[in-house]
Amino acid sequence: MGVPAALGGVFDVALTHRSFAFEQTDVVAHNERLEFLGDAILGAVVTDLIYRSHPDLTEGEMARLRAAVVNTQALAGLARDHGVGDHLRLGRGEDVSGGRAKTSLLADAFEAIVGAVYLELGLDELRRRIEPIFEVLISKALAEEFRFDSKTALQEIVVKETTELPRYRVAASGPDHDRRYIADVFVSEERYGRGTGRSKKEAEQKAAREALERFALAAKESHDARAS
């Protein structure tokens, strides 16, 4: 997508971290509202792209694929690829502490830029700019058979939805040479997923994957209810 060549207005805001805004004597807008907008728009555009490009995927598979390409690590990687860090307006302390390379800060800035492009140039132009980028990421994820960290993807969703963290409870059974693990993942004291495996890590990943599919189903039901 790239950083727009002629910066100004909403694009300056997209690249302004709150640490910079808070150091100014005059009121300066920062990018948190644009980040919120960009997060929603990006999720919708990538979901639509996956839906149209891969009609063979189930709902759960589409949710896992989207989580593989729209997450903090992936978005920060795209921000680095496009030199976003060099253009950020940071407070002195944030800049000195390496803010231009921070994963969370870069991912937030990328989402804010998406929001700015949407507001300034419209949805069609935004699609034209970002769909080719995500087509590459989607192809890589499919080639790797969705090999991504389900626990990290779930944590991001849960924190956004509830501000809490998912919790895992793991039980082991069987002899040492044939140990089996069962993991349950809880969100706000409610079990959202269960997974089994030959290692604790495998069981937790499977539990997280099941929870991701439940969140995807809940989002669909909520959308259908609003549409009816």
Q: Which domains, from first to last, does the chain contain?
A: 10-143 (1.10.1520.10), 150-227 (3.30.160.20)
Catalytic-residue membership of 111: yes
Q: Which residues of 104-134 are buried (b: 16+ CB within 10 A; e: fewer)?
A: ebbbbbbbbbbbbbbbeeeeeebeebbbebb
Angle subtended at Cα 107 by Cα 104 and Cα 216, rounded to the nearest 5 degrees: 100
Catalytic residue, chosen from 35, 94, 108, 111, is 111
pLDDT, position 27: 75
pLDDT at 3 over 70: no
Q: Specify the range with the lowest mean pLDDT, choosing from 60-64, 65-69, 108-112, 223-227.
A: 223-227
Phi, psi of 101 (to 5 degrees): -110, 0
Q: What integer pLDDT is reported at residue 223 of this predicted model?
A: 63
Catalytic residue among 35, 39, 184, 204: 39
Short-list 68, 49, 70, CA closest to 140: 68
pLDDT at 45: 96
Structure confidence at residue 117 as a pLDDT band (50, 70, 90) = very high
Mean pLDDT within 25-39: 90
Residue 39 designated active-site: yes
At residue 148, the pLDDT reads: 58
Q: What is the pLDDT of residue 25?
A: 81
pLDDT band at 62 (very low <50, low <70, confident <90, very high): confident
Residue 50 has pLDDT above 60, yes or no: yes
What SS3 class is residue 74?
Answer: helix
Q: pLDDT (tens digit, 9 = 90+) per residue, 80-107?
A: 999 999 999 999 988 888 889 988 899 9
Sheet hosting strand 190-197, strand order edge to edge: 167-173, 180-187, 190-197
Mind listing the pLDDT tens digit for each residue in 130-146? Answer: 999 999 999 888 877 65
The pLDDT value recorded for residue 150 is 78
pLDDT tens string 150-201: 788 788 788 878 888 999 999 999 888 888 999 999 998 899 999 999 899 8
Over the chain, what is the mean pLDDT?
Answer: 87
Q: What is the pLDDT of residue 228?
A: 65
Quote the pLDDT of residue 6.
42
pTM of the full structure: 0.66
Helices (H), 9-58: 10-14, 18-21, 32-53
